[in-house]
Amino acid sequence: MTLFAARGLVKRFGGVSAVDGVDIDVADGEIHALIGPNGAGKSTLVNLISGLLRPDAGTLTLDGADLTRMRADRRVRAGLSRCFQVTSIFRDATVRDNLLLAVQAHAGGHFRCFGVRDAEPALREAAFGLARRVGLEADFDRVAGALPHGAQRKLDVALALAARPRLLLLDEPMAGMGPDESARMIELIAALRRDAAILLIEHDMDAVFQLADRVSVLVYGRVLAAGTPAAIKADPRVQSVYLGT
């Protein structure tokens, strides 16, 4: 079943059509990867989907709800959550406090906000559950800014999960990681399939072809090809523009 659909999305910056009539679908339980060379419009597309940018044309729906004119914070409540490449982490706070703040923010007013020191047990349990979900339970009391890069990325994922998304947007989650950290992030993303459908923007082709159920290739703001990883790998148009063969 289609969970998320973008139809005819357009975004222009001056004379440049960064996104130029894009259709993309994400099914329930699917990992859909978006690849494409630098400047193809991937980040612009993610910003249109999350609501940081307004499209010049086109529509966005999630589970039947029209997101097109919805504010970014409402989209989160509608079930769409994104990772921000670590920028959403409070570096001076512990993993625990980062997660408590996120859990409180999404608790929907059922909990009075006394600050993280006096958080209710249910919130603390939820925060620890998120740490465990991403493999950070041993780092629960550590200051976030002191964690290795890969662990900070995991925390960023956990913060996005705090909103209990139906669709999770991951913009280059492996960026800046060595092979070991990348391998662990790939395992984590594979496991997250149980929590949410995923739209994955990623440069690491090995990761994309390991994880994705479907791949869409964006070039000059347009979807050049979409299909299974095997079909995309075998597509001569994709090979010539993107894989450099």
The residues of the shown chain that bind ligand ADP, judged by CB under 6 A, are: 13, 16, 18, 36, 38-44
Figure out which of the listed residues 12, 21, 37, 43 binds Mg ion, where binding follows CB under 5 A: 43
Question: Residue 178 binds what, of Mg ion, ligand ADP, none (CB under 5 to 8 Å, by partner type)?
Answer: none
- Beta sheet of 80-82, edge-to-edge order: 80-82, 167-171, 197-201, 31-35, 214-219, 222-227
Contact between 85 and Mg ion per CB under 5 A = no
216 and 24 in contact (C-beta within 8 Å)? Answer: yes
- In the complex with ligand ADP, the residue whose CB is nearer, 42 or 133, is 42
Q: Which stretch binds Mg ion (CB under 5 A): 35-43, 131-139, 211-219, 230-238?
A: 35-43
Residue 72 to residues 15, 45, 196: CA-CA distances in angstroms? 26, 14, 18
- In the complex with Mg ion, the residue whose CB is nearer, 127 or 174, is 174
Report the nearest approach of Mg ion to the CB of residue 20 (Å): 16
Report the nearest approach of ligand ADP to the CB of residue 49 (Å): 12
Residues written for the chain: 245
Name every residue whose Cβ is closer than 8 Å to that of residue 37 and which is 6 or more positions away in sequence: 219, 241, 242
- In the complex with ligand ADP, the residue whose CB is nearer, 79 or 221, is 221
Report the nearest approach of ligand ADP to the CB of residue 243 (Å): 16
> Can you point out the beta strands (E) in 172-233?
197-201, 214-219, 222-227
